[in-house]
Structure 1
Amino acid sequence: MSRLGHPAGRLAAGSGALARHLGARVAAWVARGRRTDLTGWRSVLGCWARLAALGIGLYLLWRLVRAIPNLLWLMSAVWAAADWRAGRPAVEEPAQPLTEGAAGAPRGDVRDATLTWIRQQIGDRQGVHLRTLLRHAQAHGMFEGMEVTEFRSHLERWGIPVRDQQRVRGMGVTVGIRATDLDASVSPSPEPVAEEAA
């Protein structure tokens, strides 16, 4: 790799990560506009209002840049600095959920790390959707190519309780994990039979 290859790779990786992060944040913000107490088209009026606000904001930014073209230099510098920070190699990987690649770690420790990771994703909410968990794991290079149904089976084999319907504030109801169910799952971890053969 050339002398400039490493910095360029870091900027490229950081730009991709930053774009994905901002995209996920914007999508979540728009989704939180959905009203669960209403039905039909009225329930999504908040989402449309937030999309309109985003459109107006982007239009105003475009007008500002047209009026002050040198502003692009400042915006590029800010974006490059954020790319550089986002592309920094992680000193410590996040707690790895249930992957077969956790070499040398006892199975119970891997399960405990997964429970800790799920609690972190739940935060102060009452639960988390499986698609949100899977998206976060795949953003960190885990469970790549796995679908939600397969991910659910994977978790249930480890005795992690999954509900068919879990409400998450601002994100609706779908298959997920409830925070209070995790307290009961601290019992000794069941050993999955099929995955030990390797």
Structure 2
Amino acid sequence: MTPLQRAGRRLADGHRRQTARITSWVTEKGESTSTAARSAVLIAAAYIAWKAEARTPIVLWVLIAAWVIAAWRAAPKPPTATPETPRDAIVQWLTETIGDRPGIHLYELYPAMRLLPGMARHDDTALRGALTELDIPITRSLTIGDIKGRSGVRLADLTTPLPPPEEHPLSQGKDAGETGRSTPEEQAETGPSPAEERTTAA
């Protein structure tokens, strides 16, 4: 593959990722009112850009350049070394996808995973199962920017060696922390303790 073809593929990948992020942002709350409001914001922004371009054509080229730069940065960089294991491969991909952020929330990660070869038809449960099988820790309440209280994957956990299995309980069950009610902002997900289970049973 020539350098020009590699650049084209990276831009195309970045374009898909940018589009997926915008779509995730519009629909992230799963509420029709929120989705409609965020869609209206995008439409208003497009209208303003269109009116500005009609008066000053150079605005269009500035917007195109900004989108191309954002797409280039959004696409994962070419790997510097061949991963030795499937976990090494997913860690490398996650690290590139996260970029300079402290981590990535699951609501953004799942659409990105579906862009990977053979993953398009997998639902959230299957994607979560794949992360668990590959020993990717999921944090119950992860803060990224202004968004708090959502489950996600921390960049620090990808670069830290895993402890023995008995000391490293991976996430269990449904995605936790999605309602923002967890106040300890970065906690590894665990199931209920035996004492809690006995209290509930009683």
TM-score by length of 2: 0.48
TM-score by length of 1: 0.49
Rg comparison, structure with higher value: 1
